[in-house]
Amino acid sequence: MTKLSVNINKIATIRNARGGNTPDVVKAAVDIEGFGADGITVHPRPDERHIRYADVLSLKQVLTTEFNIEGNPVPKFMDLVLGVKPTQVTLVPDAPDALTSSAGWDTKKNFDELSDIVSTLKDAGIRTSIFVDPDPEMVAYAAKTGTDRVELYTEPYASAFTSDPEAAVAPFVKAATEAKRLGLQVNAGHDLSLVNLEFFLRKIPFVKEVSIGHQLICDALYLGLQETVARYKMIAQAAKP
């Protein structure tokens, strides 16, 4: 089945808006695991405007499911993940001032850099994933780096879903199929929701993991966190390879 990893950045954003430790990010992560999530995702940025580097260290001490750390592999980030050794590192090419991730890597242009980073992470025993657009060429160059997985950037799918689901998912099916052919496992993330997730996984049932944060936390405002995690998990469990 497809695993559900919950991105808790937005919980940290709420905490940071007022200072203090409410809501408690670490407790929320442990509760989310207890509600059935298969993993926790964080994306620490250099300005620490949501998840802080100290949060990552605290989370490592208590999490019992898969821990996925996303980010641009600048030296500070690499020092963090090599020290923490999470289950997975997802390499994302966002600029320091990016509001949110908005594009995948040009794996052809950045091939040498990515190859070196992937090698370093794998030598440390960390599973690696490269964030890419649904472009078979970018997937092919990602495979050549030695990465274990690619994560397909799904915001374009989510944006186009309501007008034409089949057209929206088509490039993702093509890219995921190419990844599978090349021996890569496939993750997906960004703006997947209770509305569009089931269709996506029905079309690409071999997705290993979906990382969902913003939409899940928005749903939790109405449904409650436990019920929301359960609903996303139910959709993910229904996907059969």
Question: Active-site residue numbers?
Answer: 43, 70, 190
Distance, CA of 193 to CA of 189 (rounded, Å): 10
Verify cis geometry, omega within 30 degrees of 0, for the bond prior to 73: no
Contacts of 118 (CB under 8 A, 6+ apart): 91, 128, 130, 145, 146, 147
CA distance 233 to 19: 31
Q: Is the alpha carbon torsion for 158, 107, 40, 10 positive or negative?
A: negative
Asked if 208 contacts 185 with a C-beta cutoff of 8 angstroms, the reply is yes
